[in-house]
């Protein structure tokens, strides 16, 4: 058995049929002696036709509320003017006014509804001057009989509109929540991709260069070859430690149980790794150091890490590099440059470019600026300026 409500057109059709049958029965069983005593016109085919004209249109009252109200009101006026006895057909007028109030837009409903009420009340008042059957009570009944269902219909319309508005608002909020969730997932995926790239790219580059050096030296200088292999092993261990830390961050919500994030205090380790990999690198701190916010601390380290990775990959065999960390009043400056052939001049520079993209994304996220490109005197330079507002 279905739990859904019947369709509106089915309800209206049943209402029209029920009221039509009830009206016919009511008219055909109306006492003849009461008709004669009250001076009503005898029930005939005209009375039946006018009664049906006040009930059958209700089957389409929600689809054509204005037309239905006009048809039923006209039939009602003709029926009253000809003097037929009252019947259940008068309830058709109530349902028609309710449909106008509930189905039409506010302005149109006000115009149609109140105009029809005024016409019917004036018609009722005019009858008071010609017959004794009409009095103040009759006029009051007509006002209530037409105005009450119309106002009730307006209340239904307003509640329905409010419900639709709340439903639309709920759907809009749900869509906004979904969009925010998708955006958060996308941003987190991009952040993880940057972290993975920086970790894997740097450590794998160091391991590759040290392993290649060990291979060249293994025959003529076993001691230096062993040092190169030791450096490759160290880089591998550090890369694995970073990977474990990142995976732990993804698997756990307990930040206290995770290893601390790398920061600028570990830049000397990067410089040493780069030097051991064959690119003599110096490190200098300018200005008075101060405690950096965690996000700036981590991203400054990652920028240096990625820039030195590019030095190892593209600067050439005899290049030297320099890392400078500048503590300014409201900015942190990070400079990494080399005197090699540069990224664009490297014939083997077939990288994906994700490193520079990642650096730009990091700096943009922090509201800073990144300049990266060839130096005027040769080589390549990465210069980042990161605003520091929390001190």
Last residue of a domain, one of 134, 156, 176: 134
Residues in contact with 32: Cβ distance below 8 Å, sequence separation at least 6, in sequence order: 42
Q: What is the pLDDT of residue 126?
A: 79
In a domain, 340, yes or no: yes
Could you say which of 81, 102, 134 is where a domain stops? 134
Of the candidates 45, 105, 47, which has an alpha carbon nearest to the alpha carbon of residue 76?
Answer: 47
388: domain CATH number is: 3.30.565.10
**What is the rounded distance in angstroms from the CA atom of residue 236 to the CA atom of residue 12?**
78
Q: Residue 196: which of 245, 231, 237 has the closest Cα?
A: 245
Domain coverage including residue 320: 278-391
Q: Give the neighbor-by-neighbor strand order of the sheet with 321-327.
A: 281-286, 321-327, 331-338, 380-387, 369-374
pLDDT of res. 256: 41
* Series of mean pLDDT values for 10-residue runs along the chain (391 residues): 65 91 87 61 88 93 93 91 86 93 91 92 72 67 88 91 86 81 74 68 73 78 78 73 66 51 89 86 93 88 89 84 93 92 51 68 87 87 86 51
Query: Looking at residue 174, what is its pLDDT?
Result: 81
Neighbours of 332 (CB within 10 A): 25
For 363-381, the three-class secondary structure string (H helix, E strand, C coil) is: HHHCCCEEEEEECCCCCEE
Residue 258 has what pLDDT?
47
**Domain boundary residue, one of 134, 166, 200:** 134
In a domain, 3, yes or no: no
β pairing state of 380-387 and 331-338: antiparallel
Distant-in-sequence, close-in-space partners of 387: CB < 8 Å, separation ≥ 6: 330, 331, 366, 367, 368
Residue 80 covered by a domain: yes
Closest C-alpha to 319, from 352, 349, 343: 343
Is residue 269 situated within a structural domain? no
Instruction: Judge contact between 101 and 151, C-beta under 8 A.
Output: yes
Cα distance between residue 304 and residue 326, in whole Å: 13
In this structure, what are the phi and psi dihedrals at residue 262, rounded to the nearest 5 degrees? -65, 150
pLDDT for res 237? 72
Instruction: Categorise residue 255: left if φ over 0, alpha if ψ from -120 to 50, beta otherwise.
Output: alpha
Q: What is the pTM of this model?
A: 0.49
Residue 204 domain-assigned (yes or no): no
Q: Structural domain tally of the chain?
A: 2
């Amino acid at each position: 058995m279905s739990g859904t409500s019947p369709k509106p057109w089915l309800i209206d059709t049943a209402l029209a049929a029920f009221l039509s049958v009830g009206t016919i029965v009511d008219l055909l069983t109306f006492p003849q002696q009461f008709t004669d005593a009250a001076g009503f016109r005898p029930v005939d085919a005209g009375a039946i036709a006018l009664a049906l004209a006040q009930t059958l249109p209700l089957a389409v009252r929600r689809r054509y509320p204005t037309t239905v109200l006009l048809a039923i009101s006209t039939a009602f006026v003709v029926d009253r003017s000809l003097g037929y006895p009252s019947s259940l057909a008068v309830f058709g007028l109530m349902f028609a006014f309710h449909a106008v109030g509930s189905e039409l837009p506010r302005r149109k409903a006000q115009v149609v509804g109140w105009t029809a009420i005024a016409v019917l009340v004036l018609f009722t008042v005019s009858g008071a001057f010609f017959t004794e059957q009409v009095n103040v009570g009759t006029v009051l009944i007509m006002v209530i009989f037409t105005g009450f269902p119309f106002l009730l219909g307006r209340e239904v319309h307003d509640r329905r509109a409010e419900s639709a508005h709340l439903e639309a608002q709920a759907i809009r909020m749900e869509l906004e929540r979904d969009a925010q969730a998708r955006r958060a997932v996308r941003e987190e995926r991009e952040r993880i991709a940057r972290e993975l790239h920086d970790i894997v790219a740097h450590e794998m580059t160091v391991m590759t260069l040290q392993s290649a050096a060990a291979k060249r030296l293994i025959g003529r200088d076993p001691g230096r070859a062993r040092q190169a292999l030791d450096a490759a092993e160290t880089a591998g261990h550090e890369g694995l430690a970073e990977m474990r830390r990142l995976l732990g961050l993804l698997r756990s919500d307990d930040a206290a149980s995770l290893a601390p994030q790398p920061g600028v205090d570990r830049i000397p380790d990067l410089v040493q790794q780069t030097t051991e990999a064959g690119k003599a690198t110096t490190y200098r701190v300018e200005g008075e150091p101060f405690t950096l916010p965690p996000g700036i601390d981590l991203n400054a380290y990652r920028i240096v890490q990625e820039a030195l990775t590019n030095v190892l990959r593209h600067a050439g065999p005899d290049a030297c590099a320099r890392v400078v960390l500048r503590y300014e009043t409201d900015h942190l400056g990070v400079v990494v440059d080399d005197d090699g052939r540069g990224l664009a001049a490297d014939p083997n520079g077939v990288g994906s470019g994700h490193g520079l993209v990642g650096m730009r994304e990091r700096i943009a996220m922090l509201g800073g600026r990144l300049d990266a490109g060839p130096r005027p005197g040769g080589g390549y330079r990465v210069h980042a300026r990161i605003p520091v507002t929390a001190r």
